[in-house]
Chains A and B, each alone.
Chain A
Amino acid sequence: MNPRKIGNLIKTGIALLALAGSATCALAADKVTFLNWITAEPSNAPVMQKLIGDTGVPAEVLSSAWGDMQKAVFLRLRTKQPLDVFQAQERWLPTFAQMPNVVDFNDVYGKEFLEKTFPPEVLVTGQVKGRQVGLPWNVGSISLISNTQVLEKAGVTDAPKTIADFVADLEKVKAAAPQSTPYAMMTKGDDLISSDFQLWLWAFGGSLFDDDDKPVANSEATVKTLEFMKDLVDRGLASLDVDRGAARRMFGQGESAFYFDAPVAKGFAEDFSGQGEAFVQYIHPILTPVEKEGMQSRSMEWGHLLVMLNTEAGQVDGKPSPDSLSARFLTGLAMNDTVQLEYFQKLGAIPVTKSARASDIVTSDKYTVDWNASLGMPKLNELAALKDSASYVGVVSEEVQSALLGKKDAKQAAEDMQSRIEKLLN
């Protein structure tokens, strides 16, 4: 073939590619690319797909398992793949807030509007250093949930108030059903282990950091907490190799009487029990037992947030706007009361807007009323706000696991936890 003809062919090819590229760019603004983990959960996916459809905004929905979500977001952004809106856990927000093109929702909707729409305790879960980088979508707490059906069979009728009562209840459940794991404690997965550990650490009156943000992990409370957790495992009252998925299954199937989870536990329990809504009567959130009566019971602040990126779909005339596709999509998911209440009724997600929370559907719901009574004094995950929090979560989780497996005694694990946290801080 004539070299000139070859040259012309190449030029035509390049031109066609450029045209295709610009056409793709033009199409990208016609839909919102939304990455979330709810549609990756088979039992929740159909409901969520419908709610997304109800927003009326065309969306390309991408699913990723909860555990892979941060990685999925960063990889999409670093490889410059389309992403306009994504779901985030409240504890990941300080990390996501570091990204350059995350939108401050105060710039989109205006601070006054947000304050008018959301209660302050809900709005704060999406704030990092004064910026509203997360739009609340489903905010509640991590609380202790009990399966009253299992407890009643074991002759337990009252919720335990102290840790000693709690252990006594576990012993009764074990005696009634020797093959059961009375408490589905999280013993697998760094995030989960460190979360359950902190809840019990607070119940023993300890914490990982003091009010001046100095690490205080090497404390009597930490030693007591680790000894308590190891004792449960050693006596078969809790089990190794349990993550949130396993715990939800064990709870729903009547193998466990207690575990820590968010309000969405209801949907999973209904699903895994095989009884659907009829099972709700047995799910009873309770105050986390404390070491001694009179101590402050605590739950852990928890929330699902929506993060918006400053992309073409989020802009009108080159600026973030409430009229943009992304913002309309977010408004439909997080601020439309019909959608919020359906999410609540079908999956137990506690609504975030003032108006939806004031609805009869919410205020007359026994599960939600019980949940609110189980909060005690909610506290933020102490590792969440730290820069490079994954490293701290890894350290705490490894030391807890070392104690549970008997590789270290509780005292040594507490000392190592302290020294490794100090090393990371320096």
Chain B
Amino acid sequence: MDMATPLPGRTHRKPGYLKRGDRLFAYVILAPAMAAFLVMVAWPFIDAMSMSFYSYTVYDPEPVFIGLDNFRTILTDPYVLGSWVTTAIFVAGTTLLTMFLGLSWALLMYQDFAGRGVFRTMTLLPWILPSTVSAFIWAWMLNGRYGIVNVLMMNVGAIDSPVQFLSNDVGAMVAIILTRTWISIPLFMSFFLAGLQGMDFQQIEAARIDGAGNLRIVKRLILPHLKPVFLVTGALGMIGNLQQFDIIFALTGGGPVRATSVLSIEVYKQAFQNWSLGMASAIGVLWVFTLMPIVIFYLRSLFRED
């Protein structure tokens, strides 16, 4: 039978078509979520978009329309533009390191050994702790005067005198990447572990019988199997790291000089130090457009899976 031909007595419906009563019901149950979205997301975003075309500082009683001036200033200011480079370094460094360590840890936790459950639970600790608490713990550990990292390094003879990790460009960037990675590993590990548990273990056993070593198994079996997980964790990791603020602010405040001044810190500085809400909104808008391709990629891969 030709499946495309409608059955007698049945009307042809387009995909997604609902009867009138059902459609009304759908709108009713959708309304609260739509209202929340409009109030909490859409309206502030539109407001910020419009504010980016204004000069609005604490000195202006009312916002003054200045067209594209804020964007022109941003795109000609090397110091603000530098924030994109800093953000890219932070996002790339953190996402790659988290994926590598998350996968490594997941492979370890995938093995069968005594106390595996306890280890898996303990692994979640950094994720459970509030991120600012983690940031302050790391700040104390890396403190140039009282930090345990300096003490340990001096005890093993790696350094002669304390190092001010958070006061030099590289040290500060490494510190924020490490802290963010430490917090994110549990989540990434969970994703990879879930992916690993979906693997056919017999395949691995068979490969071993054929003489494949661990590295070969990872390269030829595990990594191809985890490809969809890599896509999702990569996209989610980049989005989360592009939005990162609290850890960086608590650890370095964007310094020294501007070494860790990522976009979120730049928005904060413009809004709450320079009191320039228009400029902060303009950076925020460009920040959203920076995020957009990754979000679209992530959503497309989700819908493709569906």
Our verdict on whether A and B bind, yes or no, reads: yes
Interface residues of chain A, those whose CB is within 8 Å of chain B, are 70-71, 74, 95, 98-100, 181, 187-188, 190, 236, 239-241, 246, 387-388, 390-391, 394, 398, 401-402, 405, 407
B:151-192 near A, CB below 8 Å: 161, 164, 166-169
Please pick, from A239, A388, A402, the residue contacting B257 in the complex, using a CB distance under 8 A.
A402
- Are A241 and B59 in contact (CB-based, < 8 A)? no
Query: What separation, in Å, do the CA atoms of A401 and B161 have in the docked complex?
Result: 21
Query: What separation, in Å, do the CA atoms of A241 and B169 have in the docked complex?
Result: 13
Question: How many whole Å from B289's CB to the nearest CB in chain A?
Answer: 25
- Are A407 and B269 in contact (CB-based, < 8 A)? no
Residues of A within 8 A of B61 (CB): 100
Question: How many whole Å from B76's CB to the nearest CB in chain A?
Answer: 11
Residues of B within 8 A of A187 (CB): 167
Q: How many residue pairs, one in A and one in B, have C-beta atoms under 8 Å apart?
A: 58
| Given A236-B161, A240-B164, A388-B59, A401:B274 Cβ within 8 A | no
Residues of B within 8 A of A241 (CB): 143-145, 164, 166-167
Query: What separation, in Å, do the CA atoms of A240 and B272 have in the docked complex?
Result: 25
Residues of B within 8 A of A398 (CB): 257-258
Nearest 3 CB-CB pairs, A to B?
A240-B167, A240-B164, A241-B167
Please pick, from B57, B143, B256, the residue contacting A388 in the complex, using a CB distance under 8 A.
B57
- Are B274 and A239 in contact (CB-based, < 8 A)? no
The 17 listed contacts between A and B (C-beta, < 8 Å) are A70-B272, A74-B58, A95-B275, A181-B145, A187-B167, A239-B145, A239-B164, A240-B164, A240-B256, A241-B144, A241-B167, A387-B59, A388-B276, A390-B273, A390-B275, A391-B274, A405-B167
Query: What separation, in Å, do the CA atoms of A263 and B102 have in the docked complex?
Result: 52
- Are B273 and A394 in contact (CB-based, < 8 A)? yes
Residues of B within 8 A of A390 (CB): 273-275
Residues of B within 8 A of A391 (CB): 274
- Are A405 and B144 in contact (CB-based, < 8 A)? no
Please pick, from A99, A388, A407, the residue contacting B274 in the complex, using a CB distance under 8 A.
A388
- Are B58 and A95 in contact (CB-based, < 8 A)? yes
Interface residues of chain B, those whose CB is within 8 Å of chain A, are 57-59, 61, 143-145, 161, 164, 166-169, 255-258, 269, 272-276
- Are B255 and A401 in contact (CB-based, < 8 A)? yes
Residues of B within 8 A of A98 (CB): 58-59
Name which residue of chain B comes closest to A398, CB basis: B257
- Are A405 and B58 in contact (CB-based, < 8 A)? no
- Are B256 and A405 in contact (CB-based, < 8 A)? yes
Question: Taking chain B's interface residues, is the majority helix, strand, or loop, or is none over half, making it mixed?
Answer: loop
Question: How many whole Å from B261's CB to the nearest CB in chain A?
Answer: 10
Please pick, from A70, A181, A236, A401, the residue contacting B256 in the complex, using a CB distance under 8 A.
A401
- Are A74 and B275 in contact (CB-based, < 8 A)? yes
Name which residue of chain B comes closest to A392, CB basis: B274
Query: What separation, in Å, do the CA atoms of A70 and B58 have in the docked complex?
Result: 11
Please pick, from B143, B168, B273, the residue contacting A405 in the complex, using a CB distance under 8 A.
B168
Question: How many whole Å from A425's CB to the nearest CB in chain B?
Answer: 15
Residues of A within 8 A of B168 (CB): 240, 405
Residues of B within 8 A of A394 (CB): 269, 273-274
Residues of B within 8 A of A387 (CB): 59
Question: How many whole Å from A396's CB to the nearest CB in chain B?
Answer: 12
| Given A241-B164, A241-B167, A407:B257 Cβ within 8 A | yes
Please pick, from A71, A74, A188, A405, the residue contacting B169 in the complex, using a CB distance under 8 A.
A405
Question: How many whole Å from B112's CB to the nearest CB in chain A?
Answer: 46
Question: How many whole Å from A60's CB to the nearest CB in chain B?
Answer: 24
| Given A95-B58, A98-B58, A99-B58, A71:B167 Cβ within 8 A | no
Question: How many whole Å from B163's CB to the nearest CB in chain A?
Answer: 10
Residues of A within 8 A of B161 (CB): 236
Query: What separation, in Å, do the CA atoms of A388 and B258 have in the docked complex?
Result: 19
Residues of B within 8 A of A99 (CB): 58
Residues of A within 8 A of B256 (CB): 240, 401, 405
Residues of A within 8 A of B258 (CB): 398
Name which residue of chain B comes closest to A94, CB basis: B59
Residues of A within 8 A of B57 (CB): 388
Query: What separation, in Å, do the CA atoms of A398 and B78 have in the docked complex?
Result: 14
Question: How many whole Å from B243's CB to the nearest CB in chain A?
Answer: 20
Residues of A within 8 A of B274 (CB): 388, 390-391, 394
Name which residue of chain A comes closest to B258, CB basis: A398
Query: What separation, in Å, do the CA atoms of A171 and B61 have in the docked complex?
Result: 53
Question: How many whole Å from B148's CB to the nearest CB in chain A?
Answer: 16
Query: What separation, in Å, do the CA atoms of A95 and B275 have in the docked complex?
Result: 10
Query: What separation, in Å, do the CA atoms of A401 and B272 have in the docked complex?
Result: 21
- Are A239 and B59 in contact (CB-based, < 8 A)? no
Query: What separation, in Å, do the CA atoms of A333 and B105 have in the docked complex?
Result: 59
Query: What separation, in Å, do the CA atoms of A394 and B166 have in the docked complex?
Result: 18
Residues of A within 8 A of B58 (CB): 74, 95, 98-99
Name which residue of chain B comes closest to A72, CB basis: B272
Residues of A within 8 A of B272 (CB): 70-71, 74
Question: How many whole Å from B165's CB to the nearest CB in chain A?
Answer: 9
Query: What separation, in Å, do the CA atoms of A349 and B22 have in the docked complex?
Result: 72
Name which residue of chain A comes closest to B166, CB basis: A241
- Are B269 and A405 in contact (CB-based, < 8 A)? no
Residues of B within 8 A of A100 (CB): 61
Question: How many whole Å from B178's CB to the nearest CB in chain A?
Answer: 17
Question: Which of A70, A236, A390 has the most B CB atoms < 10 Å from its CB?
Answer: A390
Given A98-B58, A394-B274; 16 other pairs, CB 8 A cutoff: A70-B272, A95-B275, A188-B167, A236-B161, A239-B145, A239-B164, A240-B167, A241-B144, A241-B166, A388-B59, A388-B276, A390-B274, A394-B273, A398-B258, A405-B167, A405-B257
